[in-house]
Structure 1
Amino acid sequence: MHTGKLLSAKSQQTFVLKLIGDVRLTLCSTLDTLLERIFVDKDINNFVIDLSKTENLDSTTLGLLAKIALQASNHGLAQPSIISPNEDITVLLESMGFRQYFILLKHPLTTSQELQEVPQLAGSEEHIKAQILDAHLTLMSMNEQNKEAFKNVVQVLEECSDLDCQNTDYH
């Protein structure tokens, strides 16, 4: 698998986010910061997430993507779209309840706007832990199946001390 990276572009009033390779919690600070910037941009009213080159998504990344749909709904924006021609990725998205919150498409994205790589940001351990917890709480809020699937992860994250968490695998 290829190390993950993020590409983005703004085309008219649409924000395009492309995830490439194995996208994991190492990119959570980058993705979270990017999402914060996106939702203060009043010119954006639509989101397209392109997963056509995505090999793997961990649960933290899924939770951050879920935040896009929830934030879009909270801001009265259009339902976001996810392009996922990879059947394995689509099955993962559907198993997490994404079809209820996103328009799932199989066709590749074509845009005249060139995508730019998003520089990877580092975050403190505490900040990353908070992002992981928030991502999993977001997934849990999507449906009962996710609530059951991630309740133990959330419990560990909420209860562990800094020393206990240093060697914890969050996903």
Structure 2
Amino acid sequence: MSTGKIQFAEWNGTFVLKFIGEIRLTLCSALDATIEKIFSALNFSSIVIDLTETRSIDSTTLGLLAKLSILSRQKVGLLPTLVTTHPDVTRLLNSMGFDQVFNIVDQPLPRPEALSDLPTQDQSEEVVKAKVIEAHQILMSLNESNREAFRDLVSALERT
């Protein structure tokens, strides 16, 4: 069971996601649904992902964050901002090539009290597997190192 949560808020077209604790696969369906909600909004102006309270983050979640960045560039022409104050998390983000697809900053966000938890989402095993594959394919598209790191996992998942 995951010991993490994702919170969400919107202020005047700025969408904020705050990741707290250990962010794992179990939170990805809710995250993916929220990404869709963000890009269906009419008053969209920016996205901020706050990782200042994140202890760990899995590769499926990283893939969904990469998806969020790609959609943001395609739909509104801007890079989302990632806020991280932990050297280990920052190092992981940079190793995945996130410095190319996000604005990464180390200043915490104001007004976290306005955030509310994302609702849980029950998904079939097949839907979850498809999301995991998609997330890792997106990571693989960011750079050669990611392509090598996740090729076997994606191939194995596609065979099952």
TM-score by length of 2: 0.96
2:81 counterpart of 1:81: yes
**How many equivalent residue pairs?**
159
Once the two structures are TM-superposed, the CA of residue 51 in structure 1 deviates from its matched residue by 0.3
Question: C-alpha separation between the residues in 1 aligned to 2:95 and 2:108?
Answer: 22
Once the two structures are TM-superposed, the CA of residue 45 in structure 1 deviates from its matched residue by 2.1
Counterparts in 2 of 1:21 and 1:45: CA distance versus 1, 3 Å:
same
* Number of the residue aligned with 1:169: none
* Number of the residue aligned with 1:167: none
Q: Which runs of 5+ in 2 are unaligned?
A: none
5 Å-filtered alignment, 1:1-171, equals 3-111=3-111, 114-160=114-160
SS of residue in 1 equivalent to 2:114 = coil
Calculate percent identity across the aligned residue pairs.
45
Q: Which runs of 5+ in 1 are unaligned?
A: 161-171
Question: C-alpha separation between the residues in 1 aligned to 2:42 and 2:103?
Answer: 22
* CA RMSD across the alignment: 1.3
Question: C-alpha separation between the residues in 2 aligned to 1:61 and 1:46?
Answer: 20
Counterparts in 2 of 1:113 and 1:39: CA distance versus 1, 3 Å:
farther
Counterparts in 2 of 1:48 and 1:125: CA distance versus 1, 3 Å:
same
Output one character per residue of 1:8-54: Cα deviation in whole Å (capped at 9) or x when no partner: 10011110000000000011111111111111112112100000010
SS of residue in 2 equivalent to 1:82 = strand
Question: C-alpha separation between the residues in 2 aligned to 1:101 and 1:11?
Answer: 23
Counterparts in 2 of 1:112 and 1:25: CA distance versus 1, 3 Å:
closer
After the TM superposition, which segments of 4 or more aligned residues of structure 1 sit over 3 Å from their partners? none
Question: C-alpha separation between the residues in 1 aligned to 2:102 and 2:57?
Answer: 16
Which structure is higher in helix share?
Answer: 2
Amino acid in structure 2 at the alignment position of 1:131: K
Question: C-alpha separation between the residues in 1 aligned to 2:106 and 2:113?
Answer: 20
1:52–1:108 Cα contact (<8 Å) kept: yes
Question: C-alpha separation between the residues in 2 aligned to 1:111 and 1:86?
Answer: 20
Counterparts in 2 of 1:21 and 1:74: CA distance versus 1, 3 Å:
same
Counterparts in 2 of 1:141 and 1:103: CA distance versus 1, 3 Å:
same
Amino acid in structure 2 at the alignment position of 1:107: Q
1:10–1:113 Cα contact (<8 Å) kept: no
Please say which of residues 89-98 and 104-113 is displaced more in the overlay.
104-113
TM-score by length of 1: 0.90
Please say which of residues 69-78 and 83-92 is displaced more in the overlay.
69-78
Question: C-alpha separation between the residues in 2 aligned to 1:9 and 1:137?
Answer: 28
